Chains A and B, each alone.
Chain A
Amino acid sequence: MSIITPAIGPALAGGALIGLVCGTMWLVHGRISGIAGIARLALQGPDRVWRLWFLAGLFAAGLIARLAWPHDLAPGYASLGWLQLIVAGALVGTGTALANGCTSGHGICGLSRLSSRSLVAVVTFMAVAAITASILAALA
């Protein structure tokens, strides 16, 4: 259809790939594809091996994009300051550990499981993130 803007197709297709992994990992292996949880348990165990391989796959995707794609698929990194990155990382790590889930764990797996906890988490972190980003954009 000609109505859709060029970015909606890739957004839907990329989202479908993410959903395919989340749904298949649960249906086939009984595993939740939440990246914060996978990263935490890759560090602490149990079952570190498959989690490290999953994270290696994420990194490999970035490597393929870097080598095969003619332009930078993440240009936004260039406009982030070091302190901004460090503080954001600490908040994201601590917050997702406390809440036991991130954008993928609560946002895709949790909502797909019809979890009310995940719905509360998603509404909360989306609202707080939008307010935070909007205030920073207004100050910039």
Chain B
Amino acid sequence: MAGGAKPEFIVIGAGEAGARAAMALRENGFAGKVTILGDEAHRPYERPPLSKAALTDADEPQAAFILTPDRLDEHGIAHRANAPVTTIDRAAHEVHLETGERLRYDRLLIATGARARKLALPGATPESVHYLRTFEEARALRSRLTPGSHIAIIGGGFIGLELAASARARGAEVTLIELAPRLLARAVPAAIAGVIAARHEAAGVRLLLGTGIERIEAVGERHAIVLSTGERIVCDGIFAGIGAVAETALAERAGLAIENGIAVDERLATTDPDIFAAGDCCSFPHALYGGRRLRLEAWRNAQDQGNAAAKAMLGGSDAYDAVPWFWSDQYDLTLQIAGLADEGSETVTRDLGDGARLDFHLAADGRLVAASAVGPNGKIAREVRLAEMLIAKRAMPDKAALADVSVKLKGLLAG
């Protein structure tokens, strides 16, 4: 950084990662200028409630703001809403805003997140198919979830399933269509996906697995999904949750390396040493999994990487190696996953009672690489947290002990 003038750090993106990074800069003693630039009209808010409480709460929902105006003031963080960035001029160390304004930076964090992948099907238009990523989209969706209305959800991933549960809670009829033969095919083991599928069916969701879609048609004010089986599903709203696409365009135009996301090194630096990236938009090598390059779309990763990026921007050299962690709430069930289940070659199951189960995923050498659990949150959360600590320690726990619910995981951690 140039000496003399007060250093200026800019964060592009006012989501979880960007907001956390801005706060972490202060927590780590940075005294220069901190500016968060956001596309949206709001202060940074939490996205996880958008598919849950924002849809199901009896009262009209409010965005769950991460930072109050007082807190922003107290920490001297400037947040600019409605401020899309058009260009990063690396040579000049400037970002250009849509307004034409240019802002100087000494170090820059790109935390632009991801956007909903759009459905590419005949008849899929902004009028016929809706997505859920922003507070406004949650509000629009909420208005469609009325008792007796029929909602069709395309995609049996986390968003689609949470939306299905929320829609049922509001009394809407739900049909969920998934192309793969089971739910959450990339995220959880079949047995856990089976528990979730059964819960949705018990709640009255019509699950159509292994089902393709031909096209979408307008039917007066309503729409119909034409399945590959020929069946037509007429409904009052179609929502697609078919994955997310990293927001890399800005980085790409600036000539930064892209590799399934903005490519960063283990300390979250891009190929420009003054530019860092964090959260859903970046891919990074994970030390715990042999340097395997990952891009995670997860709330906790966004937070943890926001913290880590702030330290790196201040010159830190720590490698980011937090255990990946995901959760989803559907009805009275919580699903939690720590680690990467696909790194495992063997599964050991611990029955936690009350229908809760915890699957440990072990690599061929016996190392614990992941844990997935489903059940009431109070039954599984502590166990998954301990499993996460075992994963971080690269523990090779005894299989019989893992399977035995009377053996405390905390005890294995000490061993």
Asked whether A and B interact, the reply is: no
Interface residues of B (CB under 8 A from A): none
